[in-house]
Amino acid sequence: MNLFKTFFIFILVTGFISCNPNSKSDDKDTLTLLALAWPQPVSLEFEALANGQKISSGSNTLADARTVRFSDFRLFISEIKLVRADGSTSEVSFATDNVWQSNGVALVDLETSKTTETNTKVLGTVAPGTYTGIQFTVGVPESLNHLDKNVQPAPLNVSSMYWAWTSGYKHANIEFSYDGTNYTLLHLGSTNCSGAPNYGNCTKKFRTSVQLTGQINPGNQKISLDVDKLFTGHTYGAMGMCMPGDASATCQPLIRAFGLNDTNGAADGTYAQRIFSLK
What whole-number distance in Å separates Cα of residue 78 and Cα of residue 66?
32
pLDDT greater than 70 at residue 21: no
Contact call for residues 190 and 202 (beta carbons, < 8 A):
yes
Please state the length of the chain. 279
Specify the pTM.
0.86
**Is-contact 243 232, C-beta < 8 A?**
no
State the pLDDT at residue 2: 44
Cβ contact 166:202 at 8 Å: yes
Task: Write down the pLDDT at residue 159.
Answer: 93
Mean pLDDT on 43-70: 91
Q: Rg of the chain over CA atoms, in angstroms?
A: 22
Please provide residue 178's backbone torsions phi and psi, each rounded to the nearest 5 degrees: -100, 125
Q: What is the mean pLDDT of residues 75-82?
A: 98
Residue 21 CA neighbour count, 13 Å, CB half: 0
pLDDT in tens, 137-193: 999 999 999 888 999 999 999 999 998 766 789 999 999 998 777 789 999 999 888
pLDDT at 211: 98
Whether the predicted pLDDT of 23 surpasses 90: no
Q: How buried is 30 (Cβ within 10 angstroms: 0-12 exposed, 13-18 middle, 19+ buried)?
A: middle
**Mean pLDDT computed over every residue of the chain:** 85
Q: What is the pLDDT of residue 182?
A: 78
> pLDDT of 24-48, one tens digit each?
555 544 444 445 569 999 999 999 9
- DSSP classification of residue 189: E
Question: Is pLDDT of 6 > 60?
Answer: no
Report which of residues 140 and 17 the model is more confident about: 140
Cα–Cα–Cα angle for 48, 111, 68, rounded to 5 degrees: 65
Give exposure, 199-209, as e/b (b: 16+ Cβ within 10 Å): bbebebbbbbb
Q: For residue 58, what pLDDT is reported?
A: 82
Cβ pair 39, 9 in contact under 8 A? no
Predicted confidence (pLDDT) at residue 3 exceeds the cutoff of 90: no
Q: What is the pLDDT of residues 204-263, one digit of tens each?
A: 999 999 999 999 999 999 999 999 999 999 887 656 778 776 557 888 999 999 999 999
Evaluate the CA torsion angle 133, 125, 220, 258 in order and state its sign: positive
Q: How far apart are CA 131 and CA 86, in angstroms?
A: 10
Backbone phi, psi, residue 11, to 5°: -65, -45
Mean pLDDT of 59-63: 88
Residue 110: its pLDDT value, please? 96
pLDDT value of residue 78: 98
HSE-CB at 189 with a 13 A cutoff on CA atoms is: 26
User: Helix, strand or coil for residue 160?
Assistant: helix
Q: Above 50 in pLDDT, residue 9?
A: no
